[in-house]
């Protein structure tokens, strides 16, 4: 058996040297096949990129943010992140509109103070569109309580107390669409394609 294997190896070596073709010895052939199978399995296991849904979110800068001149800074953060602006306006809200927007809070003890605060000046209404916009938008705003917000978030950088927490962001894609419909007429929203899209998304 040993002699047979030696002869096979010698014949294979002579065939290569003589130019009769690249004949692989059985052991080398087996190793090559194993490597090929391993590469194929690794390729098959490689996860494909998961694309999140493109969605819209409603972001509102409250009266304190407008009064403090933070509109441009907040706009810039969303633009630089890569989100696309679809609607923008400075607006003085009515009590009726605010009661609709905060309908889940109307019975809360603090609602009269919240209502007074939101009626104290104009707000800046924005619609942003992009991949996973609702979740990422809320991450950019930070926790509702500024003292629990991380540095680098909007509230973490620019506010101190809950009653002056600068901004509002939709908490789900479904509520985002409701809020957009509440604060914007359809003809106030712009449908346009950004030339930077291919530089933001794969």
Positions marked catalytic: 168
Which residues are registered as beta bridge partners of 131?
Answer: 54
CB atoms closer than 10 angstroms to residue 90: 12
User: Angle 71-81/133-141 helices, nearest 10 degrees?
Assistant: 140
Contact of 74 with 65, CB cutoff 8 Å: yes
Element (H, E) at 36: helix 26-45
Contact of 93 with 119, CB cutoff 8 Å: yes
Distance between CA atoms of residues 131 and 129, nearest Å: 7
Distance between CA atoms of residues 16 and 18, nearest Å: 6
User: Angle 173-183/133-141 helices, nearest 10 degrees?
Assistant: 80
Contact of 62 with 118, CB cutoff 8 Å: yes
Distance between CA atoms of residues 129 and 87, nearest Å: 10
């Amino acid at each position: 058996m040993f002699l047979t294997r030696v002869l096979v190896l010698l014949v294979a070596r002579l065939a290569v040297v003589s130019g009769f073709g690249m004949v692989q010895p059985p052991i080398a052939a087996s190793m090559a096949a194993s490597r090929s199978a391993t590469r194929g399995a690794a390729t098959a296991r490689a996860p494909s990129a998961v694309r999140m849904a493109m969605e819209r979110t409603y972001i509102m800068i409250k009266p304190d943010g407008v009064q403090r001149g933070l509109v441009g800074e907040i706009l810039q953060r969303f633009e630089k992140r890569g989100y696309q602006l679809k609607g923008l306006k400075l607006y003085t809200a009515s009590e009726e509109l605010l009661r609709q927007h905060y309908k889940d809070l109307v019975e809360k003890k603090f609602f009269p103070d919240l209502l007074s605060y939101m009626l104290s000046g104009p707000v800046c209404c924005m619609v942003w569109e992009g991949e996973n916009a609702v979740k990422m938008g809320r991450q950019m705003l930070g926790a509702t309580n500024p003292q629990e917000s991380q540095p680098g978030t909007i509230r973490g950088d620019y506010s101190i107390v809950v009653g002056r927490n600068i901004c509002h962001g939709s908490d789900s894609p479904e509520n985002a669409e409701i809020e957009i419909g509440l604060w914007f007429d359809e003809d106030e929203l712009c449908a346009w394609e950004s030339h930077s899209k291919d530089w933001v998304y794969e």
